[in-house]
Amino acid sequence: MNNKTKYKSFTLFKRLWTGYLRNHIFLLLVAMVFMVIEGSTLGGLSYMLQPMFDLVMVKGDAGAIWFVATAILMLFVVRGITGIIHRTLLTKVSYEASTQIQVDLLNHTLHLDNSFHSKTSPGALIERVQGDVISIQHLWNTILVNAGRDSIALLSLLGVAISIDWMWTLVTVMGAPVLLLPSLAVQRYVRRKSGYLREIASDRTLRLDEIFHGIIPIKLNRMEPYQLSRFSKLSQDWVKSTIKTVAGQASIPALVDLAVGFGFFSVLLYGGPQIISGEKSIGEFMSFFTAMALAFQPMRRLGNVASNWEIMAASLNRIFNLFDTVPDIQDTISTKIKVPKNFDVSFDNVHLSYDSSPVLNGLSFNAPHGKTTAIVGESGAGKSTLFNALTRLVDPKSGSINIDGINTKNISLENLRSLFSVVSQDALLFDETLIENILLGNKNISKEKIKQVLDDANVTKFISTLSNGLETKVGPRGSNLSGGQRQRVAIARALLRDTPILLLDEATSALDAESEKFVQEALEKLSKGRTTLVIAHRLSTIHDADQIIVLSKGRIAEIGTHENLINQKGLYSNLYSLQSKPNKEVDVLSNNSTLSSNSTKSLLKLKGQSSLVENEHNYPSLNSKQLNWLQRGLIAIARKLTF
């Protein structure tokens, strides 16, 4: 995710409101009503202190005790009930809206193309969908409560203070404007640090994701200290950034404290003489002082709203940046109704590059419907890219890929990909039961069909060895199954999809000889009447292919049947010979071993002849005429090894 657009706070709030919060406007309005009631109770409480002091404590009016006490009790009862109601409603809104954001983010990410996912780590995406959304989920509940309830409470308390003496109120709050510039500076600091903190959190998640997915290579290569040190460094940076963010966040309430303290200092100097002279009653002063004292906490919490918003804005900025990422490959207006009826696959002068590196260079061929076409070539020849281009995981730079004469760009992605069953050499399984990994959510499959698929894919062979049969959990990425078992599950998926085009990327590579035999038979049955394309590394598996395409540097080097290509004595023949070479190499090594043994015996025989001993190590002389060139060479090597 290279886009780093910095959205303004108004833009972020507008998108949050229109996209998610506005859907809950009724609950928000009801919650606001109860927040107004709860916030107003603080004003009522401070207002009731005046009659409590003037009537009860100063004048000693016993009749006023019940009136004042009951009023104060009712205020606290109302405050408690309304607080429960609006907090419950806002929590419902907060969690439902944040959950919807997560669902929408995942949905959007699932529809981004392969180029995006190849450049973006899973850990970074997990942090966007999980960490950033959870961050705003906690914060906006706090912001809504503080901004709503505390604003009303502050207004009601200021109203009581003004009703008693507007000059006292003005003197108390006259230091507030001084806070404006420092507060703005602190808010920018908090937002900047919060953004950096979210980036570090993303890096930590990425590191953990890679560690846990690569735990076996880490153990085998003894990389535990290295990975631990990398995570520890990120954690230390995270702690430092968190401390700086919290320090900046805490400075805003601290500024409020300074302003309020200065206000109390000023009003005591200004109003104290008026109390002493009798211009104001003790009840008025206590009511005013209580109102301003109670206003102190809402003011501090409202000061925190600004810093909380900046933290939330940092996460929202990352979330909306992801939402604004547009896939390069998507449906257009012309891709709505075209659906192939026949399933011939053809590549017509296809050129495709990754960044500036060409992979396919003018590739053209036809894979007839009902036939098997095998794709072979050295690593990097473009075999897997061919599959990716056919399924539109990537799009070619030029040329066209057609199914039944229809350009794949003119077929909707949903319809296009529903034409394929794919079995790759890396069988990805989910941490679910075996049967769930085969059905992949498809519940409308008969038991007879499932049994046939399990038999054809040779899955039945190992079901009995699992503790719970088809209901056995396969573990993360199928870790509870062997490589061959995982591959057979993937083949069962392909059999179950029963699509017109079958793509096999070395589908039998992880199977033993017996399993491969059964699976080959199943795949042969499946391929009948279907367009089958096979990426093959083991050439012995494609002898019966209807045509074999040999790729070299993104171009077709040769094309034909196995027999024809062998007879051409070209690239395919060379590849086939290389795969048959190990047995010959064994013979050569055996001959070399015999030669070495004979030479060693010759050396031992020579060492027994005293005329050949020329030094303290009893090495024969290299100049001896009794030695041939091979013996002299072996003696020289022996000397080097000894020293």
Assigned domain for 155 exists? yes
pLDDT tens per residue across span 26-85:
998 998 899 888 888 877 777 777 677 766 666 666 667 777 788 888 888 998 899 889
Whether 383 and 375 have beta carbons less than 8 Å apart is answered as: yes
Identify whether residues 68 and 119 lie together within a single domain: yes
Helix, strand counts (H, E) of the chain:
23, 10
Assigned domain for 100 exists? yes
pLDDT tens per residue across span 316-362:
888 999 999 888 888 776 555 567 778 899 999 999 988 778 899 99
Q: What is the mean pLDDT of residues 378-394?
A: 88
Residue 634 has pLDDT above 60, yes or no: no
Assigned domain for 424 exists? no
Assigned domain for 4 exists? no
In the chain, the percentage of residues whose pLDDT exceeds 90 is: 10
Identify whether residues 405 and 451 lie together within a single domain: no
Whether 299 and 260 have beta carbons less than 8 Å apart is answered as: yes
- In 3D, which of 486, 473, 476, 379 has the Cα closest to residue 426? 486
Which of 169-178, 211-220, 506-515, 530-539 is the most confident on average?
530-539
- In 3D, which of 338, 310, 291, 381 has the Cα closest to residue 571? 381
Assigned domain for 357 exists? yes
Identify whether residues 136 and 242 lie together within a single domain: yes
Identify whether residues 544 and 456 lie together within a single domain: no
CB neighbours (10 Å) of residue 17? 13
Q: At residue 360, what are phi and psi to the nearest 5 degrees?
A: -110, 130
As a whole number of angstroms, the distance between CA 490 and CA 453 comes to 11
Q: 267: burial class by Cβ within 10 Å (0-12, 13-18, 19+)?
A: buried
Whether 191 and 252 have beta carbons less than 8 Å apart is answered as: no
Whether 424 and 509 have beta carbons less than 8 Å apart is answered as: no
Q: Which residues of 132-142 are buried (b: 16+ CB within 10 A; e: fewer)?
A: bbebbbebbbb
And the tokens for 282?
Answer: 């003790």
Beta bridge partners of 400: 348
And the tokens for 151?
Answer: 């604003």
Give helix 224-277 / helix 166-173 axis angle, nearest 10°. 150
* Residue scoring higher pLDDT (392 or 617): 392
End-to-end CA distance of the chain: 58
Identify whether residues 503 and 565 lie together within a single domain: yes
The parent domain of residue 443 ranges over: 431-490
Asked which of 271, 298, 323 is the last residue of a domain, the reply is: 323
Confidence tier at 432 by pLDDT (50, 70, 90): confident
Stated as kind and residue range, the H or E segment containing 339 is none
Asked which of 282, 301, 323 is the last residue of a domain, the reply is: 323
Asked which of 441, 469, 490 is the last residue of a domain, the reply is: 490
Residue 248 has pLDDT above 70, yes or no: yes
Q: Which residues of 465-500 are buried (b: 16+ CB within 10 A; e: fewer)?
A: ebeeebebebeeebebbeebbbbbbbbbbbbbbebb
Identify whether residues 209 and 356 lie together within a single domain: no
Identify whether residues 615 and 533 lie together within a single domain: no
Q: What is the mean pLDDT of residues 97-116?
A: 89
Q: How many residues does the chain have?
A: 643
> Based on the structure, what is the number of domains in the chain?
4
* Residue scoring higher pLDDT (477 or 564): 564
As a whole number of angstroms, the distance between CA 487 and CA 492 comes to 9
Predicted model pTM: 0.71
Confidence tier at 363 by pLDDT (50, 70, 90): very high
3-class secondary-structure state, position 45: helix
Assigned domain for 79 exists? yes
CATH code assigned at 403: 3.40.50.300
pLDDT score, position 628 = 57
pLDDT score, position 598 = 43
Residue 522 has pLDDT above 70, yes or no: no
Confidence tier at 514 by pLDDT (50, 70, 90): low
Identify whether residues 317 and 333 lie together within a single domain: no
Output the average pLDDT for the chain: 78
287: Cβ contacts below 8 Å, ≥ 6 apart: 46, 47, 49, 50, 53, 160, 164
pLDDT score, position 38 = 85
Q: At residue 411, what are phi and psi to the nearest 5 degrees?
A: -115, 135
Identify whether residues 125 and 199 lie together within a single domain: yes
Confidence tier at 375 by pLDDT (50, 70, 90): very high
DSSP 544-559: T-SEEEEEETTEEEEE
- In 3D, which of 337, 341, 344, 335 has the Cα closest to residue 402? 344
Assigned domain for 548 exists? yes
Identify whether residues 412 and 445 lie together within a single domain: no
pLDDT tens per residue across span 538-569:
887 888 889 999 998 888 999 999 999 999 88
As a whole number of angstroms, the distance between CA 190 and CA 245 comes to 6
* CA 303 to each of CA 232, 249, 296: distance values in angstroms, whole numbers, following the listed order: 34, 9, 11
pLDDT score, position 461 = 81
Which position has the token pair 């995982």?
486
DSSP state of 414: H
CA dihedral 577, 506, 353, 548 (to 10 degrees): 50
Longest alpha-carbon distance in the chain: 137
